Amino acid sequence: MSCNKYDAVFYYETNFQKSLVEKIVEQYYSEKNILVIFRKGNSLKIDKSSYYFNFHFRLNSLISFLLLFVVVPKLRKIECDEFVASFFPGINARILSKYIGHNKKCCIEDGLGTPYNIFFPETIISNISLKIVDYLYSPKLLKGIDALDEVDVLYTIYGDINSSNLKAKVIYFDFIKKQYPDLTKEIYFIGQPLVLKKLLSVTEYSNMVNKVADKHGRLNYFYHPAEIETKYMFNDSIFCRKVDQNIEEYIKLHQKPKIIISYFSSVLINIKTQYPNIACYYIDSTLINEKAKYLLEYFGVQKYDLEK
């Protein structure tokens, strides 16, 4: 079977990961032969062709299950020296890496998820999807990427990351520059799809955001891409906004708020790292475990108490 060979193959899913990939390519791969694969909706985009692939693998989805037979042979035709993707907690990247031939695994960050797994490697678990796909498409049952020592290189944007658990070569690249801009009086709330995930009811989520608005007056609420805009019952002092670019890019291009609040979002760490004088808060909740709270506070994000 003939293969297409590349110096590096990149895979991304989110706008944040896309920004990281573009910067890494600019700094380290500008003169190399590369292929970029990305997720768009339920499709895998490879070389301007679109192949359906259910990235959130479900046993009860027979069509998605059968269409994997179409995708895997196409992945096996790709070979590279370095496969660059977000492996922790990137289940999708871990599945793709099983079938794209490569010599090295290079990890990019997935916002909060990657440093979380680096700080707390015991949280890395084998996903049932990996085992099932392995069983179907591999000559024998293979182990998934379940350990940090399986990654050869980590490209990190956080200079103060805990790398003691890593055998990988750690490369800090210049993506986030610390800045101290003049701040407006605006307050941003970064939405999370907690209702969609059935972690909170519409009423519970609406009351929580309303409480924040009651404390501060005017509040700019930015929808998460997965949220459904019409669900919430917000006060009149809450101004809802939906922007096309990721929130980091939006803040970069516009005036800077004095406060950013969210439940549990990578945006908080990314913004706090870039703009140390913006006050960033996470909502203190039982939905967030103590390890995640530790990590947020490690990067300078403060706890927001709704009851005070």
Q: What's the whole-number average pLDDT of the chain? A: 79
| pLDDT of residue 128 exceeding 70 | no
Task: Give the CA count within 13 Å in the CB-facing half-sphere of 25.
Answer: 20
| pLDDT of residue 211 exceeding 80 | yes
What is residue 54's predicted lDDT score, i.e. its pLDDT?
43
What is residue 214's predicted lDDT score, i.e. its pLDDT?
93
Listed range (25-29, 59-63, 150-154) with the worst mean pLDDT = 59-63
Q: What is the pTM of this model?
A: 0.75
What is residue 123's predicted lDDT score, i.e. its pLDDT?
61
Distance, CA of 127 to CA of 145 (rounded, Å): 10
Q: β-strand 49-52 against 43-46: which pairing, if any?
A: antiparallel
- Own/partner long-range contacts of 275-283 (Cβ < 8 Å, ≥24 apart): 275/178, 275/179, 275/180, 275/181, 275/251, 276/178, 276/180, 276/300, 277/180, 277/181, 277/183, 278/183, 283/208
Q: Token digits for 162?
A: 């805990």
Listed range (15-24, 80-89, 127-136, 271-280) with the worst mean pLDDT = 127-136
Mean pLDDT value across residues 22-34? 88
| pLDDT of residue 109 exceeding 60 | yes
Q: 104 with 153: CB under 8 angstroms?
A: yes
| H-state helical runs in the chain | 15-28, 62-75, 91-97, 113-119, 128-137, 202-216, 247-253, 266-274, 290-298
Mean pLDDT value across residues 250-259? 91
Q: What sign results for the dihedral spanned by CA atoms 297, 172, 36, 243?
A: positive
Looking at per-residue pLDDT, the higher value among 199 and 70 belongs to 199
| Burial class of 31 by CB neighbour count within 10 A (0 to 12, 13 to 18, 19+) | exposed
Distance, CA of 154 to CA of 84 (rounded, Å): 9
Mean pLDDT value across residues 141-160? 66
pLDDT tens for each residue of 218-234:
999 999 887 876 689 99
Q: Spelled out in words, what is the top-level CATH class assigned to the domain 187-304?
A: alpha beta
Helix (H, G, I), strand (E, B) or coil at 302: strand
What is residue 63's predicted lDDT score, i.e. its pLDDT?
52
| pLDDT of residue 94 exceeding 50 | yes
Distinct helix (H) and strand (E) counts, the chain: 9, 14
The 3-state DSSP composition of the chain as helix, strand, coil percent (nearest 5) reads 35, 25, 45
| pLDDT of residue 144 exceeding 50 | no
* Domain locations along the chain: 4-172, 187-304
| pLDDT of residue 171 exceeding 60 | yes
